[in-house]
Amino acid sequence: MEIIEDVAQMQQRCLEARQKGLRIAFVPTMGYLHEGHLSLVRAARAEGDIVVLSIFVNPTQFGAGEDFDSYPRDLSRDAEMARTAGANWLFAPRAKDMYPAGYASWVDVEGLTDTLCGASRPGHFRGVTTVVCKLFNIVQPHVAFFGSKDFQQLAVIRRMSVDLNLPLEVRGMPIVREPDGLAMSSRNVNLSPAERGQALCLYEAIGIATALVRAGERDSRTVIEAVRRRIEQEPEAAIDYVQICHAQTLADCHALDRHAVLLLAVRVGTTRLIDNHHLGEEIPES
């Protein structure tokens, strides 16, 4: 595996690969890799001739007072994990090359970004779509892999790719969890042991919601209330949002149907965690 930092060199290498008829599979990340990221690399490995993994802690998607500075970083650890999982090229650009002096262009997806994380993190998705669009232009992938842990991000990137006629396929992959159910996240290392225990309330709340829907509950408010009650039992947990939304439009679902997704954002101590579950899958087809 080769580590490439230079933007122009990465773009040139990818162009040459495409010209040789090679299929490029791409996994964009912010690094501090875990099994969730590696599941995407393995899926990319199964589909591409060349697997490109990018690691870039993108400053423009962090708001003032968010955890850009404390976001975990360890490139040599990541490189070893990426190599073992089957990446060919690790693209680790420098911020000053991604956003040089005079940088002035932004990609903004409207509507889908107004709710959920978009509402609690103003400007976040503008940073995400801008950097992902730039990475797509540099890497020129045939297919790009994203985790459905970041459910809204995946919906926004799909929307951007369709709207801007980007010539690639966006592929969503399942959430990878720790053995006890906590969704894997680079931010989990920032949890103290006590917070790590309390962080399990997200998964347990999802379990409560799932059981209610399986038992026939179809009123979103009742399910949301049960989820909130479980999370509020934890002294260090502060709910950012608990919503049930339509999987494609992200509009609030009042009556639960096959499209319903439960989405959670909870601060545990100072660490913001997100999780989701497609509750609609628990509803039998009528």
> Cβ closer to ligand AMP: 129 or 186?
186
Does 29 contact ligand AMP by CB under 6 A? Answer: yes
Which of 195, 279, 206, 174 lies closest to 238, judged by CA? 195
Report the side by side order of strands in the sheet with 271-277: 237-246, 260-268, 271-277
Instruction: For 19-36, give the DSSP string.
Output: HTTPPEEEEEE-SS--HH
- Reduce the DSSP state of residue 51 to 3 states and report it: strand
Q: Which stretch binds ligand AMP (CB under 6 A): 93-101, 112-120, 178-186, 241-249?
A: 178-186
Half-sphere exposure of residue 42: CA atoms within 13 angstroms, side-chain side: 12
Does 42 contact ligand AMP by CB under 6 A? Answer: no
Pattern 93-132, ligand AMP, x by CB under 6 A? ----------------------------------------
Binding ligand AMP (rule: CB under 6 A), the pick from 82, 184, 201, 262 is 184
- As given in the structure block, the two tokens for residue 265 are 């954002």
Report yes or no: 176 and 169 within 8 Å, Cβ to Cβ.
no
Report yes or no: 280 and 247 within 8 Å, Cβ to Cβ.
yes
Q: By CB under 6 A, what part of segment 142-171 binds ligand AMP?
A: 146-147, 149-150
Whether 246 is a known active-site residue: answer: no
Binding ligand AMP (rule: CB under 6 A), the pick from 36, 93, 118, 141 is 36
Q: Specify the DSSP class assigned to residue 180.
A: T
Binding ligand AMP (rule: CB under 6 A), the pick from 140, 185, 188, 190 is 185
> Cβ closer to ligand AMP: 30 or 212?
30
Q: Which stretch binds ligand AMP (CB under 6 A): 71-79, 141-149, 201-209, 254-262?
A: 141-149
- As given in the structure block, the two tokens for residue 215 are 């038992």
Return d(Cα 15, Cα 163) in angstroms, integer. Answer: 23
Does 62 contact ligand AMP by CB under 6 A? Answer: no
List interacting residues with ligand AMP (CB under 6 A).
29-30, 36-37, 39-40, 146-147, 149-150, 173, 175-176, 183-186
Residues with a known catalytic role: 37
